[in-house]
Structure 1
């Protein structure tokens, strides 16, 4: 009897994957997926039916879930096959519900209205509903007479044409500002010392020898920080190096290396040790406000003003760091700067943080319009003329500034709201003009079309002072373009001048970078104020800062005693070349053979003690001046006013 043959049971491992993909299997899978989609859509519809509190209808119904999205079932999020293969890897988000918000600019008058329809849109204050543009050949601009005779340097500065250059700097960084910095720095160091747990690394990190900072010491620290922009070295320790190849004797004369590093480590500007709600600049808000107040108080602008962006280099971790590819540094803190066009003086600035503390949110003219309103708030109703680039300029904002008695001129983006349409194909050099009341919309074709919106120009062609290299004819441009190019470059010019004395140091603390940039702006404004009072244009910004540094050392610096009795050989020979020329020698003998005596130069003309006539037989070999060998020789070669 033969045994019955049995068919072996096939496991999943013995069946190849293609054998499973039968027609019945595919049909069953399709029905299963269809059933899940119906369940998902029915659950959404039931939830929508229960929500009856909001009568506003949706513009479009919710779309059913697609295979490319992520589906939620059973309290968990399930990825679809396409996402598992590397598709969407974002979080699950419900389909966006866009609601109807009819605007008078786009709604038709014959649209039916019903009690269940959404509430009609009410135009906000300052919003332009429509602007009527018409072509014109001649345009009469608005008149902005500026007759403010008090523009320029204000008496609150406390300086005159004969004042010392240091007095201009001390007007900004006075005792009030420096006392704030000193007190907050000392408190911050004490806070860090108390913060560490006993035995922790943080506790020992702040137990180095420390004495509280004083106001004169902080002035010396600022002088060294500004001096580092003139003496470039790769490492901070190299400034205090005694190597004869790279040494700089002034470093270490008034402050040691470790003391400078400790002050920079604990530099602080606020007593608040925790974040302030909605204020990301709380760490140096107080010091920034004090300096801004002095910027506005010491100088009253002339008629023409300009607003532009400035970028301070910072590549650390920061929530409101900005990227501007057209700037030199590209990454950093973005400053919105208001400058006077005639002098380049920085009147005010705003640091972009992404919050509505400094710039009001929800402005009808957008974020860029809110920036203009905030910076110009103190200068409205004074017949100023404002120059802006295409980030700020718009017809709606221009009309608002006209109501505030402020003229404007700036480039405009092609797709700005209410901007008139111009033909796309035009020959180079052609000008098309359209006016809407006192506003003039102008398109001038150079290499590409240039759109200008102005309320203070006629749009007529003028000689630009340049000559075409091909035709040897003078190049003509509209008056608005020429005036815009002259005045719009002031912020970039200020950035260029500041970059020459940039004292920024590498740090992880963004507020220290912001403070050092404000220090550079203070030096720039001191240079402009000094030029306005003395009419001296030969003194450059670098030379003025060097004079400020030397006078800070002379007034607040205290020479440190040398540590150690034995001097280094390199230090002993540091002035060998100078002393080889400037040395004491005997006066020439007289014809009678006796020693020659002459009157000491220092004793006769000194201003530090009583004058007297002292006969000496010594003189300086290089200067050929009779000097006493004990004190007068050293004073003559080390003091400017001996």
Structure 2
């Protein structure tokens, strides 16, 4: 666009009517200078065919070796720090007082840790309702014995991280859509960014499942969970996270970098923590990839591979999808260009369909072969695969792997508060990150893989420590006036077996019993709760029943009961 066509006729008329001639000229000159200072994207590049092999830069970084393996709870507390939990305690108590000054919550650090531990246990057991963990039929002792139900629900109802009275109004520059959870995100982000960074990294999107009504909710049909909050994540090939950003609807340019569009700006923002001149490798998909992005990253010696959309390759004439299909499966075409002193390679490869990749350090050769299923021949065949595709497939799936690990034991607690979904996701986020750190240290210390705890066991150990470490279980009811030393020692009660349903009791299947010489109470309905010196115990299920005079014998098995003719037995 020429400078003469910058102003539309309508804008010219507006400025001519409201501004004098000299003012209009000043405005026009200022606008032209601002346009000249903006970053100009790559266009009309010269691409040429090539078959040379680009040398792969050697990574000059090094990960510190661990000397010992810590307890799972220590890894988790290293990410969710004590200062973060203290802030949760302060803001939760403040919010409870703001809601009802006559009913202060008085929550403590220990109770917040127990609350988080209970959430982790719920994610492992996966019962459909939260109250089922306290109900007698589905009771889980590690949850129900830790905290009373009403107390847990009170903490969940008042859980807060920021003071609502200090939130900026909508429309002001300081307004933050994530204000309610910003302290939690900031605290976790500081700990994630302090982790030593591996060589191969990737940037991808993550969806926090959510189907409620909120302006930040996004839809991505290519993700396993299509509806929810979007999170951009920088991770390595193992799923370890180093940086993330929750999408709020606007992506600003990275500080000190030109504006190359929203998709490129978020990569520059996330990669700002990567050290320069160490030859890290960064991978991303075609939503992020562009010639300008890879050129800017290569200037920092961050080498890239990414799938790319053909309309972002200015001036590159690659074969069409139909031409690639005629050449057959495994055909590829490679072209090269130099942009601002950076060499870029574009490779188009046809497998089931055509895919185009762009890189600053990888090329098509040396090509390898991969096994693919041939529908016509009904067998597997060898297909030629470019080297750039092999490198991309090997290191790109870190964020998807992270998603699958979180989904294994996701905290599914229903709530009317929109930010609870983000909070519980971040707690699960921290547990998976802690487990990956634990696995890295275990590998450095030479621990066999069979001795390394699984994610479920690791999360259960973290939950157990949060619920019980340095904590006393509160007893229900009024406190006793006597000390524990003055109270006589009570005999522990035998666990009570639950009564079976009526239909099972009267089905007359498998109810034979044996005689035992010990005391017990009859489990038959309607019998007085008297203690008998001897009883009948079924062989299959140990339900105590008595012999009643003039009634015959009630016999049970597998939680079942029938009536046997009393003439066959002597009465006691």
Contact 2:69 2:438 in 1 (8 A): no
User: Structure 2: how far apart are the matches of 1:234 and 1:188?
Assistant: 29
Matched position secondary structure for 2:216 = coil
- The structural deviation recorded for 1:242 is 1.4
- Single out whichever of 302-311 and 326-335 deviates more from structure 2: 326-335
Contact 2:253 2:265 in 1 (8 A): no
TM-score, length-normalised on structure 2?
Answer: 0.72
User: Structure 2: how far apart are the matches of 1:168 and 1:358?
Assistant: 34
Contact 1:435 1:441 in 2 (8 A): yes
User: In the alignment, what sits opposite 2:83?
Assistant: 176
Contact 1:444 1:451 in 2 (8 A): yes
User: In the alignment, what sits opposite 2:542?
Assistant: none
Say if 1:461 and 1:213 are closer, same or farther in 2 by CA, change over 3 A: same
Say if 1:516 and 1:525 are closer, same or farther in 2 by CA, change over 3 A: same
Q: Which protein is bigger by CA-based radius of gyration?
A: 1
| 2:93 maps to which of 169, 186, 191 | 186
Say if 1:365 and 1:178 are closer, same or farther in 2 by CA, change over 3 A: same
User: Structure 2: how far apart are the matches of 1:361 and 1:279?
Assistant: 22
Q: Does 1:240 align with 2:207?
A: no
Contact 1:393 1:411 in 2 (8 A): yes
Matched position secondary structure for 1:439 = strand
Contact 1:217 1:557 in 2 (8 A): no
- The structural deviation recorded for 1:287 is 1.7
* Matched positions, count: 454
- The structural deviation recorded for 1:558 is 2.4
TM-score, length-normalised on structure 1?
Answer: 0.65
What are the residue-to-residue correspondences of 1:576-587 with 2, within 5 Å?
A: none
Contact 1:153 1:532 in 2 (8 A): no
User: In the alignment, what sits opposite 1:434?
Assistant: 335
User: In the alignment, what sits opposite 1:347?
Assistant: 242
- Single out whichever of 258-267 and 319-328 deviates more from structure 2: 319-328
User: In the alignment, what sits opposite 2:400?
Assistant: 492
TM-superposition CA deviations, 1:104-141 (whole Å, max 9, x none)? xxxxxxxxxxx999679526347435532111122425
| 2:223 maps to which of 324, 327, 336 | 327
User: In the alignment, what sits opposite 1:62?
Assistant: none
Greater fraction strand: 2
- The structural deviation recorded for 1:47 is 7.4
The alignment's C-alpha RMSD in Å is 3.5
Matched position secondary structure for 1:283 = helix
Say if 1:556 and 1:329 are closer, same or farther in 2 by CA, change over 3 A: farther
- The structural deviation recorded for 1:338 is 0.4
Gaps of 5+ in 1: 1-42, 58-100, 102-114, 155-159, 195-206, 577-582, 586-642
What are the residue-to-residue correspondences of 1:81-96 with 2, within 5 Å?
A: none
User: In the alignment, what sits opposite 1:17?
Assistant: none
Matched position secondary structure for 2:367 = strand
What are the residue-to-residue correspondences of 1:225-264 with 2, within 5 Å?
A: 225-243=119-137, 246-264=138-156
- The structural deviation recorded for 1:457 is 1.4
Say if 1:223 and 1:472 are closer, same or farther in 2 by CA, change over 3 A: closer
Contact 2:130 2:413 in 1 (8 A): no
Q: Which has the higher contact order (CA 8 A, sep 6+)?
A: 2
Q: Does 1:548 align with 2:449?
A: no
Matched position secondary structure for 2:123 = coil
What are the residue-to-residue correspondences of 1:370-519 with 2, within 5 Å?
A: 370-381=265-276, 382-418=278-314, 420-424=316-320, 425-426=323-324, 427-428=327-328, 429-437=330-338, 438-460=343-365, 462-469=367-374, 470=377, 472-519=380-427
Q: Does 1:135 align with 2:49?
A: yes
What are the residue-to-residue correspondences of 1:272-311 with 2, within 5 Å?
A: 272-276=164-168, 277-297=174-194, 299-311=195-207
User: In the alignment, what sits opposite 2:442?
Assistant: 534
User: In the alignment, what sits opposite 1:607?
Assistant: none
Say if 1:332 and 1:120 are closer, same or farther in 2 by CA, change over 3 A: closer
User: Structure 1: how far apart are the matches of 2:250 and 2:21?
Assistant: 30
Gaps of 5+ in 2: 1-9, 169-173, 481-492, 501-515, 519-572
